Structure 1
């Protein structure tokens, strides 16, 4: 699920970036995880779920474990958007390409 392809099947763009890219996305993953944990806590308060401190901690851990693959994928995407820009002209050329 969280596997990145080596190259784009249409334009042959190399997807693998230097290892420091993944270190940077790890920091973004930490921030996204904190946001999910805070959202879980706030939602438990809004819905009036009184688990106590241990129950809230366990529910946050459970939610983070369930969402771990998605948090990893989203964090890589967020980090990549700092460095890679969308170019509609290149996208149009690739979508008109009949190789795939």
Structure 2
């Protein structure tokens, strides 16, 4: 779980940059986790759940535990988009290869 492939099977792009890449992804993961926690809190308010402070805390922790694998994957993807550039020629070649 939460493992990233080393190279793209289609174009050969190397995914992992260096260990510091994961440090940056950790900061993005923190921000995404805060967004999930805030969303869980506001969804509780919208649906009219009145848990009290302990119930609110437990619902936020539960939402974070359930979404933990997705938060890790999304944060690495967001952080990687700062470094990997989109090349339309490579995308066209990969698309053409998949049709063959």
Q: Is TM > 0.5 for Structure 1 vs Structure 2? A: yes
Contact 2:33–2:64, Cα closer than 8 Å, also in 1: yes
Contact 2:2–2:72, Cα closer than 8 Å, also in 1: yes
How many residue pairs get matched?
Answer: 99
- The worse-fitting range, judged by mean Cα deviation, of 37-46 and 3-12 is 3-12
CA distance in 2, matches of 1:23, 1:54: 31
CA distance in 1, matches of 2:56, 2:29: 21
Alignment of 1:89-100 (within 5 A): 89-97=89-97
* Residue in 2 that maps onto 1:39: 39
Q: Residue 97 of structure 1: SS of its match in structure 2?
A: helix
* Residue in 2 that maps onto 1:29: 29
* Residue in 1 that maps onto 2:8: 8
CA distance in 2, matches of 1:83, 1:6: 15
Contact 2:11–2:94, Cα closer than 8 Å, also in 1: yes
Unmatched runs of 5 consecutive residues or more in structure 2: none
Q: In the alignment, does 2:52 pair up with 1:52?
A: yes
RMSD: 1.5
- The worse-fitting range, judged by mean Cα deviation, of 36-45 and 80-89 is 80-89
Structure 1 residue runs of 4+, over 4 Å off?
Answer: none
**How far does residue 97 in structure 1 lie from its aligned partner after superposition?**
3.1
* Residue in 2 that maps onto 1:79: 79
